[in-house]
Amino acid sequence: MLFRSIMFTCVLMGLGGLTLNVMTLGGLALGVGMLVDNTIVMLENIYRHQCDHETPEDAASDAATEVNGAIIASTSTNLSAILPFLFVGGLTGLLFRELIFTISAAIFASMIIALTLVPAYAAKVTSLNTNWLRKIVDQGVERLQEYYSVLISKVLHLRWLTVVLFVISLGVSVPVFMSGKQIFLPQLDDGRIRVIVSADIGISLDEMDEKTQQIENLFAQQPEIDTVFTLVGGSVFGRTQRETPSRSTIIAQLKPLSERSASSDEWMARMNKQISDLKLAGFKVNMSQRGIRGIRTNRGDDDLSLRIQGEDNKQLKLIADDISQKMSRIKGLSNITHSAEDEQFEIAITLDRKRAAQLGLNLQDLTQAAQIALQGTVVSDFLDGDRTYDIRLRLAQTEIISPQDLESIILFPASEESPPVYLGTVADIELLETPATIKRDNQMRIVEVTASLTGNATLGEAVQALDALREEINLPPGYTLYDGGSKQALEAQKALTDILLLLALFLVFVVMAIQYESLLNPLIIILSVPFASVGVALGIYTLSLPLSMPVWLGMIMLVGIVVNNAILMVEYIELERGRGAGLSEAIITAARLRLRPILMTTLSTVVGMLPLALGWGDGAEMLQPLAVTVVWGLSFSMLVSLLLVPIVYHLFHSYLLKRSSVKG
């Protein structure tokens, strides 16, 4: 049945226009455990009827009639919890839409297979052959059922104590979700390392190339290295290139994670230590791991960015230097730089217009002379085979080493009556330090301070530290300091997940209310959902996972998943009461009979998600938090379904029975 469910799921994926990629395969991996849940419920009930010596056809029919409602209800709640995610836009919707569609297709396929093929095939089983292993398992489950029925009968006498214990555990788990350990997406260890090498202004391109080669050779000697790409003397972004002799970029691609013993973070830490041993005076090396290509949570080029807005470049640079120094004291931040650090020399020629006019010179003469001297002018071309080369006329570079050499350039006025004059006679020539780039935001000049996260530091903790730092800084009038977008991304993520969680709870409750045509039992079932967060909190705390979008997505999925066991329990309690059993008797009987399917469905889902939860394979980091959330949350919710749901059912219905008896 599992293979048929998977085939049906793939058909639905094909109809939806999906391809096989990390997200759809991850959705199939997450859905494998849930694919057999409905089948398990149906088969277990059919097997129980067959053990009561019913004919195969009657057993399949009667068992299907008993659990059809529960299967449809559980599938509907699963879909209602996660389908709203398909209508989410932006980066979150783009990333997880295919994952949600695949999981939804798997859940729907499992319902169709369980309601149609499973009873039809089970009706063909005419004998129940058992071997020694099956007998041992059955005896173990029967013994467990007896112990559980005794436990639930005792717990029913300690109802309020049990409820208080669960509520206390829920309260203890809340601080885990309120902590600042938040990130947007997990970091994928794809082994792509970006290295920026910067040097002092005025360094020659040859010297920059020599020092960069030392770092490049060091990388090439490492066993984890696959390829190294180096660009010296500037940077290239798309079709834009910038020539900066004091800057180099190295892209180091490590081997796949399965072929190396060190993670990217460990490799960068080791390389930083070895580069410092090279003692490259005047050089600064920043290494960072490239994130998912095309995905940026802020407007900067790194994990964190602060933007300073103002008019004066020098004042902006002073403020940026001060902020960078203070940020260096924040634990977990590295590669702290700002956009005003890269500077270059410019020759500024200021014409004395009045004196130039007296000597018969104008601005055009000055501009033309300076351009020919510094850049030259193309006077012809040289044809060599199929290639053409410009012939440029300019002064020899040895004759214009300093600004004073420019002052000795002779200008010939257009008027023959005016004598030649030196450029320094009619113009002031200065060598100025200017920013290599000038950034603007909303047409206002800014300087951007950026930093990378290292070690176990999270984006949420770093944002909190930067918020505290911003309050300590006193800016001059006319200057503002604001976040580069990381804080807004986290706040938007939190607001979105809050809305989706509340919407999932509401839709699950509405779907159950429509199916039950009542509010009481859906309320009993929905009250079990928040307690799944206790298991999630235990998983996050035990594994030291930060809160991220996959974690919140797992929480939303749990809203629809954890009600399945509660629905099974409540459905069978109602069935037993319909047969004339008392309230406590119906709860104990239903609990004993529903123990096996609850254990089987929970274990199948947990085991199916275990490979992802363990992070096996390349790229598993993206979906591992989601699988961990579901595994730990579902495991704890099993205890909630087995202990808390029967107690809450007893509390509500015993209260109704007392009210009806008083009115009677």
- Over residues 317-342, the pLDDT tens digits come to 888 888 888 888 888 888 888 888 77
- Contact (Cβ atoms closer than 8 angstroms) between residue 217 and residue 301: no
Q: Whose CA is closest to 628, among 558, 563, 524?
A: 558
Could you tell me the two tokens for 15? 């109809």
Q: Which amino acid is at 192?
A: R
- Is it the case that residue 256 has pLDDT exceeding 80? yes
Mean pLDDT of 13-20: 84
**CA 96 to CA 500: how far, in whole Å?**
14
How far is residue 105 CA from its own chain's centroid?
Answer: 23
Mean pLDDT lowest among 26-30, 212-216, 318-322: 26-30
- CA-CA-CA-CA dihedral for 525, 530, 531, 533, to nearest 10: 140
- Is it the case that residue 166 has pLDDT exceeding 90? yes
Q: Which amino acid is at 405?
A: D
- Over residues 76-121, the pLDDT tens digits come to 888 888 877 777 777 777 778 888 888 888 888 888 888 888 888 8
Whole-Å CA distances, 658 to 566, 576, 585, 588: 24, 20, 17, 20
**What percentage of the chain exceeds 70 in pLDDT?**
95
pLDDT at 2: 66
Choice between 315 and 374, residue whose per-residue pLDDT is larger: 315
The b/e string for 348-366 (b: 16+ C-beta within 10 A; e otherwise) is ebebeeeebeebbbeeebb
Mean pLDDT lowest among 90-104, 169-183, 462-476, 595-609: 90-104
Strand partners, 192: 253
pLDDT at 540: 92
* C-beta neighbour count of 249 within 10 angstroms: 17
Choice between 38 and 172, residue whose per-residue pLDDT is larger: 172
- Is it the case that residue 33 has pLDDT exceeding 80? no
Q: What is the CATH number of domain 189-290?
A: 3.30.70.1430
**CA 212 to CA 216: how far, in whole Å?**
6
- Contact (Cβ atoms closer than 8 angstroms) between residue 271 and residue 223: no
**CA 366 to CA 239: how far, in whole Å?**
33
Could you tell me the two tokens for 216? 């490049």
Please tell me whether residue 49 adopts helix, strand or coil conformation. helix
- Is it the case that residue 129 has pLDDT exceeding 80? no
| Cα atoms in the Cβ-side hemisphere of radius 13 Å centred on 325 | 7
- Is it the case that residue 35 has pLDDT exceeding 80? no
pLDDT at 379: 83
Q: How confident is the model at residue 385 (pLDDT cuts 50, 70, 90)?
A: confident
Mean pLDDT lowest among 246-250, 418-422, 524-528: 418-422
Mean pLDDT lowest among 69-73, 178-182, 509-513, 660-664: 660-664
pLDDT at 662: 67
Q: Residue ranges of the domains in the chain?
A: 2-185+490-663, 189-290, 344-435
Please tell me whether residue 200 adopts helix, strand or coil conformation. coil
The b/e string for 197-221 (b: 16+ C-beta within 10 A; e otherwise) is bbbeeebeeeebeebbeebbebbee
Q: Which three-class secondary structure string do you get for 31-66?
A: HHHHHCHHHHHHHHHHHHHHHCCCCHHHHHHHHHHH
* C-beta neighbour count of 661 within 10 angstroms: 8
- Contact (Cβ atoms closer than 8 angstroms) between residue 480 and residue 323: no
Whether 189-290 and 2-185+490-663 are alike in CATH topology: the answer is: no
**CA 194 to CA 27: how far, in whole Å?**
31
- Contact (Cβ atoms closer than 8 angstroms) between residue 44 and residue 597: yes
The phi, psi pair for 499, rounded to 5°, reads -65, -45
Strand (E) positions, 255-303? 283-289
Please tell me whether residue 251 adopts helix, strand or coil conformation. strand
Q: How confident is the model at residue 359 (pLDDT cuts 50, 70, 90)?
A: confident
- Is it the case that residue 458 has pLDDT exceeding 60? yes
Most distant CA pair in the chain, distance? 127
Helix intervals (H) in 305-433: 313-327, 353-358, 363-374, 403-407, 423-426
**CA 612 to CA 623: how far, in whole Å?**
7
Choice between 152 and 88, residue whose per-residue pLDDT is larger: 152
pLDDT at 636: 93
Q: How confident is the model at residue 31 (pLDDT cuts 50, 70, 90)?
A: confident
Mean pLDDT of 464-478: 86
* C-beta neighbour count of 439 within 10 angstroms: 17
Specify burial of residue 85 (Cβ count, 10 A radius: 0-12, 13-18, 19+).
Answer: buried
Angle at 609 between CA 606 and CA 611, to 5 degrees: 120
- Over residues 57-78, the pLDDT tens digits come to 888 888 888 888 888 888 888 8
- Is it the case that residue 638 has pLDDT exceeding 80? yes
Angle at 624 between CA 623 and CA 625, to 5 degrees: 95
Mean pLDDT of 168-187: 87
- Is it the case that residue 364 has pLDDT exceeding 90? no
- Is it the case that residue 406 has pLDDT exceeding 60? yes
Mean pLDDT lowest among 75-89, 146-160, 163-177, 595-609: 75-89
- CATH architecture assignment, domain 344-435: 2-Layer Sandwich (3.30)
pLDDT at 441: 82
**CA 443 to CA 441: how far, in whole Å?**
5
Pair type for strands 240-254 and 333-338 = unpaired
Q: How confident is the model at residue 167 (pLDDT cuts 50, 70, 90)?
A: very high
Strand partners, 231: 249
Choice between 192 and 489, residue whose per-residue pLDDT is larger: 192
* C-beta neighbour count of 227 within 10 angstroms: 11
pLDDT at 294: 54
Q: What is the CATH number of domain 2-185+490-663?
A: 1.20.1640.10
**CA 59 to CA 65: how far, in whole Å?**
10
Q: Which amino acid is at 628?
A: V
Average model confidence (pLDDT) across the chain: 84
Q: How confident is the model at residue 664 (pLDDT cuts 50, 70, 90)?
A: low
Please tell me whether residue 394 adopts helix, strand or coil conformation. coil
Element (H or E) spanning 445, and its range?
A: strand 444-453
- Contact (Cβ atoms closer than 8 angstroms) between residue 222 and residue 528: no
Q: Which amino acid is at 179?
A: S
Give the DSSP letter of residue 84.
Answer: G
pLDDT at 443: 79
pLDDT at 230: 92
Could you tell me the two tokens for 415? 């008027």
